[in-house]
Structure 1
Amino acid sequence: MKKITSVLLISVLAVSALFANGVKEESVSGEKVYKIGISKFVAHPALDAIEQGIMDELNEMGLSYEFDLQNCNAEISTGVSIANIFKDGNKDLVIGIATPPAQALAVAFNNTDTPVEFAAITDPLSAGFMDEGLSNIFGISDRNPIELQLDTFIDLASIETLGMIYSGNESNGVAIFERAQQYCIDNGLELVAVSVSNSAEVKTAMLSIASRVDGIYIGNDNTVVSAIASVDQVCTDYDLPLFNSDTTSSENTNFLMSFGLDYYKVGRISGNAAYKVLTGTSPNEIGTVFLDDITQFNFILNLDRAEELNIEISPELLAKASFIVQDGSMIEN
């Protein structure tokens, strides 16, 4: 095994004030400089990694570009304002990272020729991105194998009552909850779930269920993941095993298990799709891309936390981990 100093987090470009920032690369040979607007729902490691991956991919493809990077700060109304500003700015392509900003862009650019790309949408069907007649919309889904995640976590931690916090005002959060709920029904488990409307409510929600559950499952829900430190603190205080679907934000938390997409890779794939559309491919030809290749996922086991919780990890499960946490360090397995 080889120790790595920065396993999952990448260098992320600092973003300045709302509506005022941009990243510009000038054309030196007279070719077109593409104007690309990116609206990100909130700053947290996974979405930051997607944003960076998009930019890195386009850099490698040799495009001359001008990026307009915007952060909704988890406010849906801010995403609507950003979308309208992008529309007035004559962008060549716009990208929404997470469901709310992508939906705002789809509305603002409806019946236009401007391509709208979504990135990291858990349920693009219920979000409306797969409706007929949307000729300018395409993108990448970050749908996770929730049933496999729960199978592994529940077996490892011997869970009978599962706790979950989710965002009730985001379609992706509701979709994750509904799949987890169905899983628990099918497998005879009790689910204690609390809906939140913003990240400030997460700690209170956690405290309301901590004494009633055997473990906590957090899906790739942007509102909740942006408050993962609060989830982690309550789990630590109550000796609860934590499953975090967002491996990118797990490095600084006391999780037991994390299994989910590598969001930097999601960004690179999104950037490649953007490049294809900017250079002539129809958005319809790309459509919705689901990432089903297991190599696009990271599986992390925290041996330190397992020891604290007196949970035994079998050699068979350990062998499947791409990374482990041991003696306070993240190590490639």
Structure 2
Amino acid sequence: MKMKRVLAGLLITALAGTMLVGCGTKEKEVFKIGVNQFVTHAALDASYEGFVDALKEAGYIDGENIKIDFQNAQGDQPTANTIATKLVNGNNDLILAIATPSAQAVANATKDIPILITAVTDPAGSGLVESNEDPKGNVSGTSDLTPVKQQIELITKLVPDAKKIAVLYSSSESNSVIQAELAMYAATELGLEAEAATVANSNDIQQVVQSLVGKVDAIYAPTDNTIASGMPTVAMIANQNNLPVICGEEGMVDAGGLATYGINYYKLGYLTGQQAVKIIKGEATTDQMPIEYLADEEYELKINNEVAEQIGIEIPEELVSK
């Protein structure tokens, strides 16, 4: 009898040890992040890269303790809507939306899953949060509001004889409409005449830019996703006709624009990644997380010297020194 009790005790101990080993080796729960990027272009790609790097530096590695489901709508709003639904149904713990159209798609798809947005000009103005200072919902993130007035001022410095400019943007993107209004106001303040040059989609770009040749002295293109992805077409026509294009961000300058004074999208994405880390750790929630911006000192001047030489623009010494 005593022997049976000893054997039973040993069996229980062995089973308990097995259970403990099982618990100790059980794979840690993986935090799932869905990503809805509206289109492929340098600024949005850099935002995503910065986001992932911020997670990595905090110890969150895709395929290890987090799983990232990256989706790209390739500039198509219905596709962005479909992706949003897919990410919501995929039981993601957090969704990152890159650019305003994708942010609106995801925000319409769920009021429960935390959403972080980036590369969105005015989240409140686009109906994504109650206010940028106090979102009060499941959406927060970072804004890419650029120093529009300083960008328009670049035109007066690089093209001092300019009298009339065109503001080139997509009328279907609320973020671009907001920037266009700011640009028109800034142009008036600086003594420039400004006209709107809108496109409905990328197919309109060539015809609209061609129509500006000989009618305006420069083009201003804000951080518009349609124009950014179609920048090679804009540059091809504008540069052939010595028509300077001042851009909203540096990726557009790399694609053939003349210059910009704007934000670094990698840093913006990195800032969004830091917000994600706080959410993963349970240190913050979107409803109490204000929309964040890069500091003014992080704005960067970029000039495409090759384009300047091609179209006969002399860079002022005050800009060369920067």
Matched, 1:54 2:51: yes
RMSD after superposition: 1.7
TM-score normalised by structure 1 residue count: 0.82
Within 5 Å, give how 1:210-221 maps onto structure 2. 210-221=213-224
Q: CA deviation at 1:122?
A: 0.7
Within 5 Å, give how 1:160-199 maps onto structure 2. 160-199=163-202
Return 259-268 or 303-312, whichever deviates more: 303-312
Structure 1 outlier segments of 4+, above 6 Å? none
Within 5 Å, give how 1:149-160 maps onto structure 2. 149-158=151-160, 159-160=162-163
Within 5 Å, give how 1:221-240 maps onto structure 2. 221-240=224-243
Q: CA deviation at 1:259?
A: 2.0
Q: In the comparison of the two structures, how many residue pairs are matched? A: 289
Provide the residue aligned with 2:204 in structure 1: 201
Q: Who wins on radius of gyration, i.e. which is larger?
A: 2
Q: 1:82 to 1:134 in 2, by over 3 A?
A: farther
Once residues 245 and 130 of structure 1 are traced to their aligned partners in structure 2, the CA distance between those partners, rounded to angstroms, is 24
Provide the residue aligned with 2:130 in structure 1: 131
1:81-132 CA deviation, whole Å, 9 max, x = no partner? 111111111100001100011111111112x2x1111111111121112316
1:241-283 CA deviation, whole Å, 9 max, x = no partner? 1212220242242x32122211111111111111111211121
TM-score normalised by structure 2 residue count: 0.85
Q: CA deviation at 1:186?
A: 2.5
Letter matched to residue 109 of structure 2: A
Letter matched to residue 47 of structure 2: I
Matched, 1:42 2:39: yes
Letter matched to residue 151 of structure 1: E
Other structure's SS at 1:289 match: coil
Once residues 236 and 316 of structure 1 are traced to their aligned partners in structure 2, the CA distance between those partners, rounded to angstroms, is 24
* Paired residues of 2:210 and 2:237 also in contact (CA < 8 A): yes
Provide the residue aligned with 1:90 in structure 2: 91
Once residues 129 and 171 of structure 1 are traced to their aligned partners in structure 2, the CA distance between those partners, rounded to angstroms, is 11
Provide the residue aligned with 1:32 in structure 2: 29
Once residues 244 and 90 of structure 1 are traced to their aligned partners in structure 2, the CA distance between those partners, rounded to angstroms, is 38
Q: CA deviation at 1:302?
A: 3.0
Within 5 Å, give how 1:283-298 maps onto structure 2. 283-295=286-298, 297-298=299-300
1:117-176 CA deviation, whole Å, 9 max, x = no partner? 111111112111231674211110000010011112222212211122101011101011
Once residues 306 and 81 of structure 2 are traced to their aligned partners in structure 1, the CA distance between those partners, rounded to angstroms, is 44
Provide the residue aligned with 1:108 in structure 2: 109
Once residues 183 and 26 of structure 2 are traced to their aligned partners in structure 1, the CA distance between those partners, rounded to angstroms, is 53
Provide the residue aligned with 1:24 in structure 2: none
Higher percent of residues as helix: 2
Matched, 1:78 2:75: no
Return 125-134 or 166-175, whichever deviates more: 125-134
Extract unaligned runs of 5+ from structure 1: 1-27, 321-333
Extract unaligned runs of 5+ from structure 2: 1-24
Provide the residue aligned with 1:275 in structure 2: 277
Once residues 177 and 26 of structure 2 are traced to their aligned partners in structure 1, the CA distance between those partners, rounded to angstroms, is 48
Higher percent of residues as strand: 1
Other structure's SS at 1:239 match: coil
